[in-house]
């Protein structure tokens, strides 16, 4: 539904004091129809630039943006100076903002009517549509109120109703819940999820909160320095050894208790979440296992858990137990055990995956292991991809 190829944005403005700032650096994004896709990343990663380029509020420096089969970059104009074709294409893309962007001098209903006015919809049709939309977002009784009389969550509902005025197929949201308290955030996310399901709306949302991704996203991408460094379905990412997004979604802290120990991060999905694998592991190999950290959660309606455990002995000593965990359908990765892998980046190298157990330094032990236990299964593949540039 949304595809960008080689999207690049270089700013040179008063804001950057005449310097060139590369906010987007060759972004290839692919958002499927009907999904909720979250883009996460730290401040300055280029998230807002990406979303503003997707609806041509900003004209990309190079690259293309296709929304619902139409190449927007081929249409003339940008921002407020968009040509007719672009304005028309843009009416099928709704946009929700962090700070709501409501006109304080207009009533709630008049705010929702604004885009319809611009589209030239007649007074009566406009009024009817605005009331429908307010009903859809649960604000039917606030039509005559002014934004100043509403709570933050209510203002954002107005913002969402307004974004839906042109019957968009795509909704873009830039930190729509970042100015809201946790409870209101949940209710707004639920509303977005409902709209996604009831209207078949494709949602591309930008956030710096992992909680948002956990709650409503089907897919996610991690941005850093103007690039997408990881993307895929949330399920796929969670099943991908070494995925940074998976680790950030489920940070499990806990440092090794001393040298000569192996710290392993385990991810449980679906039915494996309810099996007593840890006690089986302890019994089968007669080893003592310490649990250093654990987190259980529901992602897209499915139970997912992560656990960080410590095994006695070196990595080489634990090839067989780790192989056992993987045989049980779990994802098991060697962690560096410093407990600090929650997103500072650049530590991928330290995360060896158990699938690589036959790496040269472990070859001897791995050979021995094969005699004693089933072969360590190959790394699971998942529809996630990592680019390392
Ligand atoms: N209009 C602009 N002029 C100059 N630099 C900008 C402009 N907008 C964003 N930037 C710069 O581009 C980079 C990415 O910004 P942005 O897309 O807002 O990131 P994010 O939304 O992830 O915080 C930052 O370095 C920011 O300072
Ligand atoms: Mg931003």
Domains of the chain, by residue range, sit at 2-237, 250-376
Beta carbon of 21 within 6 Å of any ligand 1 atom: yes
Q: Which CATH architecture describes the domain 2-237? A: 3-Layer(aba) Sandwich (3.40)
Closest ligand 1 atom, CA of 49? 17
- Residue 280's H or E segment, with its range, is helix 277-285
Looking at the chain, the whole-number percentage of residues with pLDDT higher than 90 is 55
Residue nearest to atom 14 of ligand 1 (CA): 46
Residue nearest to atom 27 of ligand 1 (CA): 44
pLDDT band at 206 (very low <50, low <70, confident <90, very high): very high
Angle at 292 (CA atoms; ends 230, 299), nearest 5 degrees: 40
* Cα gap 18→14, rounded to integer Å: 6
Q: CATH number of the domain at 250-376, please? A: 3.30.70.260
Closest ligand 1 atom, CA of 58? 1
Beta carbon of 15 within 6 Å of any ligand 1 atom: yes
pLDDT tens digit sequence for 96-132: 998 899 999 999 999 999 999 988 899 999 999 999 9
pLDDT tens digit sequence for 24-55: 999 999 999 999 999 999 999 999 999 999 99
Beta carbon of 11 within 6 Å of any ligand 1 atom: yes
Residue in 340, 387, 336, 73 with CA at minimum distance from that of residue 226? 387
Antiparallel, parallel or unpaired: β 302-312 and 202-207: unpaired
Stretch 225-253: mean pLDDT: 86
pLDDT band at 300 (very low <50, low <70, confident <90, very high): low
**Cα 331 to middle of ligand 2, angstroms:** 33
**Cα 226 to middle of ligand 1, angstroms:** 9
pLDDT tens digit sequence for 137-165: 999 999 999 999 999 999 999 999 999 99
Beta carbon of 63 within 6 Å of any ligand 1 atom: no
Q: Does 195 score more than 60 pLDDT? A: yes
Residue nearest to atom 25 of ligand 1 (CA): 44
Angle at 353 (CA atoms; ends 349, 355), nearest 5 degrees: 140
Q: Does 373 score more than 50 pLDDT? A: no
Residue in 94, 24, 16 with CA at minimum distance from that of residue 58? 24
Closest ligand 1 atom, CA of 174? 21
**Cα 300 to middle of ligand 1, angstroms:** 31
Residue in 215, 190, 170, 155 with CA at minimum distance from that of residue 70? 170
Beta carbon of 23 within 6 Å of any ligand 1 atom: yes
Residue nearest to atom 26 of ligand 1 (CA): 44
- For a mutational test of ligand 1's pocket, the pick from 15, 18, 23, i.e. the residue with the most ligand atoms closer than 8 A to its C-beta, is 23
């Amino acid at each position: 539904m949304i595809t960008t190829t080689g999207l690049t944005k270089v700013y040179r403005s008063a804001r950057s004091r005449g310097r060139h700032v590369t906010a987007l650096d060759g972004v290839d994004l692919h958002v499927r129809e009907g999904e909720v896709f979250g883009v996460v990343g730290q401040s300055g990663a280029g998230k807002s630039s990406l979303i503003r380029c997707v609806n041509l509020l900003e004209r990309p420096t190079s690259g293309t943006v296709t929304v619902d089969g139409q190449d927007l970059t081929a249409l003339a104009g940008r921002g407020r100076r968009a040509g007719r074709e672009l304005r028309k294409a843009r009416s099928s893309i709704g946009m929700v903002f962090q700070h709501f962007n409501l006109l304080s001098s207009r009533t709630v209903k008049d705010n929702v009517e604004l885009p319809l006015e611009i589209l030239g919809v007649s007074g009566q049709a406009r009024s009817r549509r605005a009331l429908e939309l307010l009903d859809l977002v649960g604000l039917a009784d606030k039509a005559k109120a002014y934004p100043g009389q509403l709570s933050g969550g209510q203002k954002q509902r107005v913002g969402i109703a307004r974004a839906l005025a042109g019957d968009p197929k795509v909704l873009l949201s830039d930190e729509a819940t970042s100015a809201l308290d946790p409870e209101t955030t949940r209710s707004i996310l639920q509303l977005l999820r409902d709209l996604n399901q009831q209207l078949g709306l494709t949602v591309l949302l930008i956030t710096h909160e992992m909680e948002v991704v956990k709650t409503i996203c089907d897919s996610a991408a991690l941005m850093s320095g103007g690039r997408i460094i990881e993307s895929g379905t949330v399920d796929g990412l969670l099943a991908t050894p070494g995925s940074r997004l998976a680790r950030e979604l489920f940070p499990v802290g806990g440092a090794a208790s001393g040298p000569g120990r192996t710290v392993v991060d385990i991810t449980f999905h679906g039915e494996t979440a309810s099996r007593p694998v840890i006690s089986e592991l302890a019994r089968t190999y007669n080893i003592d296992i310490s649990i250093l950290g654990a987190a259980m959660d529901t992602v897209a309606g499915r139970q997912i858990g992560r656990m960080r455990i410590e095994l006695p002995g070196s990595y080489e000593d634990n090839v067989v137990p780790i192989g056992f965990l993987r045989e049980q359908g779990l994802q098991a990765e060697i962690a560096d055990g410093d407990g600090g892998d929650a997103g500072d980046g650049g530590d991928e190298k330290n995360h060896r995956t158990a699938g690589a157990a036959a790496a040269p330094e472990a070859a001897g032990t791995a050979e021995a292991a094969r005699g004693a236990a089933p072969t360590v299964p190959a790394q699971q593949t998942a529809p996630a991809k990592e680019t390392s540039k």
